[in-house]
Amino acid sequence: MSAVLRDERLLLPLTVKQLDSVLAVELQAYPFPWTRGNFIDSLAAGYPSQVLYGPQGELLGYFVAMEGVDELHLLNITVAPAVQGRGHARFMLDELCAICRLKRAQQIWLEVRESNQRARDIYARYGFVQVGMRRGYYPAARSTHASGREDAVVMSLALTTGAPHGLE
Ligand X SMILES: CC(C)(COP(=O)(O)OP(=O)(O)OC[C@H]1O[C@@H](n2cnc3c(N)ncnc32)[C@H](O)[C@@H]1OP(=O)(O)O)[C@@H](O)C(=O)NCCC(=O)NCCS
Binding site for ligand X (CB under 6 A): 29-30, 77-79, 84-90, 112, 116, 118-119, 122, 125
Q: Identify each DSSP E strand in the chain by its residue range.
A: 4-6, 9-13, 49-53, 59-67, 71-79, 107-113, 129-139, 149-158
**Minimum distance of ligand X from residue 5's CB (angstroms):** 17
Q: Report which of 69, 76, 63, 126 is spatially closest to residue 103, judged by C-alpha positions.
A: 69
When the beta carbons of 16 and 124 are compared against ligand X, the nearer one is 124
When the beta carbons of 31 and 68 are compared against ligand X, the nearer one is 31
Dihedral sign, Cα of residue 25, residue 29, residue 30, residue 31: positive
Q: Report which of 65, 60, 15 is spatially closest to residue 40, judged by C-alpha positions.
A: 15
**Minimum distance of ligand X from residue 167's CB (angstroms):** 13
When the beta carbons of 103 and 120 are compared against ligand X, the nearer one is 120
**Minimum distance of ligand X from residue 14's CB (angstroms):** 15
**Minimum distance of ligand X from residue 65's CB (angstroms):** 12
When the beta carbons of 61 and 159 are compared against ligand X, the nearer one is 61
Q: Which residue is nearest to ligand X (CB)?
A: 87
